[in-house]
Structure 1
Amino acid sequence: MDNNLIICFIERQCTLDEAREVLRWIEASEENKAVFRNMQAVYASISIDSADRTGNVDAEDVQQIMKEISRKRYRLATYIGAAVCSAAVILFVVLFPFEQKDRYEYEKALAGITDKTEITLTVSDQKEIELSDTSVVAYDKKGQIVINDTVTVPKEKKDKSDLNTIYVPYGKRSTLILADGSKVYLNSGSSLVYPVVFAKDKREVYLDGEAYFEVSKESQRKFIVQTSCKAIEVLGTKFNVSVDKTQNLFEAVLVTGKIGLESNAGKIELTPNQYYVYQSDSGLDELRTVDVRDYISWIEGRLRFNREPLEKVIRKLEKSYNIKIEFFNPKYLEYLISGNLDLKNTAEETMDVLMRILIPNYNPQKQKLFLIKDKKSSI
């Protein structure tokens, strides 16, 4: 296994496919697990040791170093035993509750997902349940899974730390109602990992892709959405989160309530109608006021956009229809367009409407501007 790829995994900078490759390697043998744990420890200790070689590190030092780690890559070719500082490693584990152990468990759950064409619910005993396009998955007060208010999956003895995963392939969408009553709308090409039973002090889920959350308010337990890029904390609110690893893009938009997250300037709180975007490869982030309907219309089967680059609109359509759209002249992809598309139409009908928005007097019989290809792929 390439050490650089393992470091990318530790830094949360790898793609989902790369993460799955690392996880498969880790699970292959106890020796690989030991090597991975050593690299985690060395990575943490080298970063901390670079600020204080005596091993005496306080909390502020660790916070600053972790910010540096998020922006900087260290290459580890060999195990550097002398750099391991036990006190520093303990601080690393205690002060940062969502670090590699939690990430490892979440990514491990996602790694079990293979290429599928149907919405799939994987429960903690690894049992897979295929769902229809219109399925609503809910949990009743007894902890049983109820599908479309009719089909009940019997409750089995499960550990509180067990995780369930719902996977939504491209071209489909799904709805999940968690045990606390919170509702999650999952967009095409997305997965959500969540515990069988929420912890007493928090409600935490892990998102890969895009989802709209309607969180039930609980004053004693925050609701936390973890992603490969950033985490969002809430008490009770409605918001949309999108993580696009191929574009190195993290987006969040708030409809009601408040949400908090870490920005380049420190922790910030979004108020209704605010939109936050973070580009992980450049490190740039931005907070601005928007029309939230442009970002959540997908849950109603529509796509609204206001002066969006055509390239971004096309990417959303590719996910929604599980297709690949190729333009013969790439100049059009830079155009800014505004409009409203009904995703209940076929891909061809939707593209016809889009082209008429883009080009006045567009004639599909005479103007061949693009090609639609079927695309069978996973997240």
Structure 2
Amino acid sequence: MDQQNKEQFVILLGKYRSGQATPEEINFLEAYYDLFDVNDDLITPDNEADFQQLKTGLKEAIDQQIGLHKKQPARVRPLRWVGVAAAVLVLICVGAAFFRYWPATPEKAPLATVTPAPASQRPLNRPVLQLANGQWIDVDSSGQGIIAHQQGLSISRQDSNTLVYQPLVNTANGDKAHGMNTFTTPRGMKYRVVLSDGSAVVLNAASSLRYPAVFEGPVRAVELEGEAYFEIKKDLQHPFIVRSALQEVQVLGTHFMVNAYPDESNIKTTLLEGAVKVKAEKGAVVMTPGQQVTVDRDDNAVRKAMADTEKEMAWVNNLFAFRQDDLPTVMRQIARWYDVSVEYKGGLPTEKFSGEISRSSSLTDVLQILELNDVHFDVQGNTLTVSYRE
């Protein structure tokens, strides 16, 4: 931390002790709870008591928030939304300090029911479902319960972020739904879709899944652009196939993830449970749990290595996770979640970033942390300009 930031921090600390700090300033101080243990140069004989008072107060608040008084601490698990005060924010640059922040979870506005819209009126920047007949449904503005019917099944919204396909009982074969549905998430939102066979898919922001309303034939095939986490219903007679650019993933019943964003340099498949085969132009690879296969977009090279499964699962649990990532990698994830366009001005820092950030944090909070590492941001509307502060 440079001298100017140190001075500002000490000023805020004094305002906190005297009760004059604003809510925003208090949040800023809380974001640096761990700083006290690793940046001793901030502590002087004049402010040591202030630091101890802040640290003690924050520790009590943090213990209460994350339930440390319980016998069993909360753990992150697949397909469970983070509910511990929107989780912990931690972001570090290599050689910098650890930071934490627990943002408040915003309340959601009441939902209004709408009717399906024609394709020409596709909702923008909202989660949308395109039915086999071409109609679009603004899912986020639909009330809970059944939002659409197709022959042989109902489509319902069970909570604010879950869409469920439910085959109707006693449906004759000739009445089954035919054709493909497409579900698309906007930037800044993830969504869980339960397919007609019972398989569950969690789509990350700015992602699209194309799938049959009802699976028919010898295989269950879907198409993905973006990123998704899959929990596949086991069916030995009907393998599940995920197709994306340059590759095809074949499974019988397993938990895995595919990252196929067009702006990433490779396509990643990460296996958490079971077994899958990844097929690409330059070969096929069988994976075991804990492994990751990448297909390079430039030369189609297929590579297999051990995966950082906690990092890959982080977004499912409402977290960003960085492990020695460069700034453009960090900013691509931020751009998808906060719906901003990122531009770069001048040279960029060569530091690598590691840590975790709650995706419930505001963009302002995230940028404020990053700016401590000699990076400057200028936000104008939906455009975020990044420059290196020398």
Q: TM-score, normalised by structure 1?
A: 0.60
- For residues 273 and 222 of structure 2, the distance between their equivalents in structure 1, rounded to whole angstroms, comes to 20
Q: Is structure 2 residue 151 aligned with structure 1 residue 144?
A: no
Q: For residue 126 of structure 2, what is the aligned residue in structure 1?
A: 118
Q: For residue 253 of structure 2, what is the aligned residue in structure 1?
A: 236
Q: Is structure 2 residue 191 aligned with structure 1 residue 191?
A: no
Aligned pairs for 1:45-194 within 5 A: 116-132=124-140, 143-148=153-158, 160-194=177-211
SS in 2 for 1:295: helix
320-329 vs 188-197, greater mean Cα deviation: 320-329
Q: For residue 356 of structure 2, what is the aligned residue in structure 1?
A: 340
Q: For residue 325 of structure 2, what is the aligned residue in structure 1?
A: 308
Structure of larger gyration radius:
2
Kindly state the Cα deviation for residue 291 of structure 1 after the two structures are TM-superposed: 1.6
Unaligned 5+ runs, structure 1: 1-110, 363-367
Assess if the C-alpha contact under 8 Å between 1:133 and 1:173 holds in 2: no
Kindly state the Cα deviation for residue 112 of structure 1 after the two structures are TM-superposed: 8.4
- For residues 240 and 380 of structure 2, the distance between their equivalents in structure 1, rounded to whole angstroms, comes to 40
Find 2:307's aligned residue among 281, 284, 290.
Answer: 290
Find 2:336's aligned residue among 315, 319, 327.
Answer: 319
Assess if the C-alpha contact under 8 Å between 2:257 and 2:271 holds in 1: yes
Q: Is structure 2 residue 316 aligned with structure 1 residue 299?
A: yes
228-237 vs 148-157, greater mean Cα deviation: 148-157
- For residues 125 and 232 of structure 2, the distance between their equivalents in structure 1, rounded to whole angstroms, comes to 29
Assess if the C-alpha contact under 8 Å between 2:132 and 2:178 holds in 1: no
Kindly state the Cα deviation for residue 159 of structure 1 after the two structures are TM-superposed: 6.3
Distance 1:114 1:209, change over 3 A: farther
Q: For residue 376 of structure 2, what is the aligned residue in structure 1?
A: 369
Kindly state the Cα deviation for residue 115 of structure 1 after the two structures are TM-superposed: 6.9
Which amino acid is 2:262 matched to?
K
Assess if the C-alpha contact under 8 Å between 1:134 and 1:174 holds in 2: no
Q: For residue 234 of structure 2, what is the aligned residue in structure 1?
A: 217
Find 1:277's aligned residue among 275, 282, 294.
Answer: 294
Q: For residue 351 of structure 1, what is the aligned residue in structure 2?
A: 367
Larger helix share, 1 or 2: 1
RMSD of aligned residue pairs (Cα, Å): 3.4
Kindly state the Cα deviation for residue 243 of structure 1 after the two structures are TM-superposed: 1.2
- For residues 263 and 195 of structure 1, the distance between their equivalents in structure 2, rounded to whole angstroms, comes to 23
Assess if the C-alpha contact under 8 Å between 1:304 and 1:339 holds in 2: yes
Assess if the C-alpha contact under 8 Å between 1:326 and 1:372 holds in 2: no
Assess if the C-alpha contact under 8 Å between 1:323 and 1:372 holds in 2: no
Distance 1:182 1:167, change over 3 A: same
Provide Cα deviations, 1:108-150, integer angstroms capped at 9, x if missing partner: xxx9896711111111122211122999999999621111269
SS in 2 for 1:331: coil
Which amino acid is 1:179 matched to?
S
Aligned length: 256
- For residues 165 and 221 of structure 2, the distance between their equivalents in structure 1, rounded to whole angstroms, comes to 23
Which amino acid is 1:343 matched to?
R
- For residues 175 and 137 of structure 1, the distance between their equivalents in structure 2, rounded to whole angstroms, comes to 15
Which amino acid is 1:232 matched to?
V
- For residues 292 and 113 of structure 1, the distance between their equivalents in structure 2, rounded to whole angstroms, comes to 40
- For residues 253 and 271 of structure 1, the distance between their equivalents in structure 2, rounded to whole angstroms, comes to 9
Distance 1:158 1:125, change over 3 A: farther
Assess if the C-alpha contact under 8 Å between 1:307 and 1:336 holds in 2: yes
Which amino acid is 2:158 matched to?
N
Identify which of structures 1 and 2 has the higher relative contact order when contacts are C-alpha pairs closer than 8 Å and 6+ apart. Answer: 2
Distance 1:339 1:152, change over 3 A: closer
Assess if the C-alpha contact under 8 Å between 1:121 and 1:165 holds in 2: yes
- For residues 369 and 156 of structure 2, the distance between their equivalents in structure 1, rounded to whole angstroms, comes to 39
Distance 1:152 1:245, change over 3 A: closer
Which amino acid is 1:235 matched to?
L
Provide Cα deviations, 1:160-185, integer angstroms capped at 9, x if missing partner: 54111111111222110001111111
155-164 vs 256-265, greater mean Cα deviation: 155-164
Provide Cα deviations, 1:230-249, integer angstroms capped at 9, x if missing partner: 11000111111111223452
Kindly state the Cα deviation for residue 200 of structure 1 after the two structures are TM-superposed: 3.2
Assess if the C-alpha contact under 8 Å between 2:158 and 2:164 holds in 1: no
Q: For residue 244 of structure 2, what is the aligned residue in structure 1?
A: 227
Percent identity between matched residues is: 24
Assess if the C-alpha contact under 8 Å between 1:168 and 1:191 holds in 2: yes
Which amino acid is 1:127 matched to?
Q
Q: For residue 4 of structure 2, what is the aligned residue in structure 1?
A: none
SS in 1 for 2:299: coil
Provide Cα deviations, 1:164-219, integer angstroms capped at 9, x if missing partner: 11111112221100011111111111111111110231111111111111111111
Kindly state the Cα deviation for residue 282 of structure 1 after the two structures are TM-superposed: 2.8
Provide Cα deviations, 1:301-321, integer angstroms capped at 9, x if missing partner: 101111112211110110011
- For residues 209 and 137 of structure 1, the distance between their equivalents in structure 2, rounded to whole angstroms, comes to 27
Assess if the C-alpha contact under 8 Å between 1:201 and 1:220 holds in 2: yes
Which amino acid is 2:305 matched to?
R
SS in 2 for 1:144: strand
